[in-house]
Amino acid sequence: SVALPFLDAMVPAGRHWKKTFAEIDKTRLIAIEIVHGSAGCTEWGATQNLWSPAEEGRDFDLSPSVLKPLEPFQDYLTIVSNTDMRNADAFSAPEIGGDHFRSSAVFLTQAHPKQTEGSDVLVGMSLDQMFANRFGQDTPIPSMQFCIENVDQAGGCSYGYACVYTDTISWASPTEPLPMIRDPRVAFDMLFGAGGTPKARAERRRANSSILDWVAGEVGEITRALGPEDRVRLESYLENVRELERRIQKIEAQNSSGETRELPEAPAGVPDSFSEHVKLMFDLQALAFQNDM
C-alpha cells in the first residue's frame, strides 16, 4: 500500500471542504538542530542582524538577514531572538568543556543532562515528544527523527558523557532516548509504504522497480473515480513520491557499484554529498507533511 494525500473525495458528502479540512488538518512541528551552530550566531552576528531582524513586532525587515528567502511567508513568521541554552553550561568543575556534548540533549528538553558514560542517562522529555503525545494519535506515525551525521556510536564519548546525549535530540522520557534515522531509504519505506516482505523489497530494489508499480491497478481505479482537481493533486503527489524514490535508487546504485566512498561506513542509501543528503531528508519531510503522516 502507498499513503495518499488529502483529497476532496475524502470529504463526507454534504460537508464543506474547508470546514472538514480544518477538522482533520493536524498541528505540525519540525525541530531542526544545527549541532555546532551557524556562521554568524555570535555577538557580532547579532549586531549585523544576520539571523534576526532589527525590528520588533509585525513589520520587520528580513532583507539584511539570511532569512530573506522566507519573505514570501513573512505574514506567517514569528521570530524569537536572543534565546540561549543555559542548561548546556557546566554546572560543576568535572563538566567544564562539555558544552557541545550537552547541547543536543538540552536543545528540546531544556534540562541539564546527568554526567555519565553508562546506560543511566538522565535529561528530560523533549518538546517534540510532548507534541507527539498530544497530536500523534491522529497521524499514522506519531513522530520521526532524522539525522545526517553518524549516530551509531556506543558507550562513552568525551567529557564523561554517554554518546547517546549527542546521538539524538528526541527523548520519550528523561531516560528514553529515541533513535534517529540517517538512511533516506529507511525513511522513505516508513513513510510511503514498502510493500511485501523484506525479501520482496530487496527483489524490487534489484529490479529497480517502484513501489508505485505494485499498486498501479489500485491507483488507476482511484484516479478514474476522482474529480479533475483531485486527479491533478494525486498525480502530482505520486510523481513527487516517484522522483524521491528515483533519487534514492540512484544513490543506492552508485554506492553499491564498488567505487571508493567518502563515507564507507554509511548505508547504501546515504549520499556521500552532505548537501544532497540534507536536501533529500527535507524533501521526505515535506511530502510527509503533505500527506499528513
- Tens of pLDDT, residue by residue over 149-194, are 887 666 667 899 999 999 999 999 999 999 999 999 999 988 886 5
pLDDT at 168: 94
Q: Using CA atoms, how far apart are residues 142 and 190, in angstroms rounded to an integer?
A: 12
Across the strands, what pairs with 171?
A: 177
pLDDT above 90 covers a percentage of the chain that reads 43
Same domain, 197 and 270: yes
Do 98 and 161 contact (CB within 8 A), yes or no?
yes
In a domain, 232, yes or no: yes
Same domain, 198 and 286: yes
**Domain boundary pick from 160, 177, 194:** 177
In a domain, 160, yes or no: yes
Same domain, 187 and 281: yes
pLDDT at 110: 96
19-47 residue pLDDT tens: 554 455 567 899 999 887 777 777 888 88
Confidence band, pLDDT 50/70/90 cuts, at residue 204: low
pLDDT at 252: 92
> Nearest 10 degrees: CA dihedral of 42, 46, 51, 53?
170
Same domain, 119 and 218: no
Read off the C-alpha cell for 257.
Answer: 557499484
Phi, psi of 7 (to 5 degrees): -125, 155
Do 222 and 235 contact (CB within 8 A), yes or no?
no
**Angle at the Cα of 222 (from 217 to 223), degrees rounded to 5?**
95
Same domain, 155 and 127: yes
Confidence band, pLDDT 50/70/90 cuts, at residue 8: confident
DSSP states of 21-79 as a string?
Answer: HHHH----------TT--TT-SHHHHHTTSSS-SS-SS----TTSTTGGGGGGGGG---
* Domains held by the chain: number: 2
Over residues 108-134, the mean pLDDT reads 96
Residue 200, pLDDT > 90, answer no
In a domain, 21, yes or no: no
In a domain, 71, yes or no: no
Residue 144, pLDDT > 90, answer yes
Residue 82, pLDDT > 60, answer yes
Same domain, 275 and 255: yes
Question: Whole domain around residue 106: which residue ranges?
Answer: 86-177
Residue 196, pLDDT > 70, answer no
Lowest mean pLDDT among 9-18, 164-173, 277-286: 9-18
Nearest Cα to 33, choosing from 146, 132, 121? 146
Same domain, 121 and 157: yes
pLDDT at 223: 83
In a domain, 214, yes or no: yes
224-236 residue pLDDT tens: 888 888 888 888 8
Nearest Cα to 2, choosing from 286, 220, 199? 220
Lowest mean pLDDT among 58-67, 94-103, 194-203: 194-203
Q: Using CA atoms, how far apart are residues 204 and 214, in angstroms rounded to an integer?
A: 9
The neighbour count for residue 12, using CB atoms within 10 Å, is: 6
Average predicted confidence (pLDDT) for the chain: 84
Same domain, 113 and 196: no
Same domain, 151 and 122: yes
Read off the C-alpha cell for 117.
Answer: 558514560
Q: Using CA atoms, how far apart are residues 99 and 217, in angstroms rounded to an integer?
A: 55
Q: Using CA atoms, how far apart are residues 191 and 144, in angstroms rounded to an integer?
A: 9
Same domain, 151 and 199: no
**Domain boundary pick from 114, 142, 177:** 177
Highest mean pLDDT range out of 55-64, 96-105, 210-219?
96-105
**Domain boundary pick from 156, 177, 198:** 177
pLDDT at 12: 66
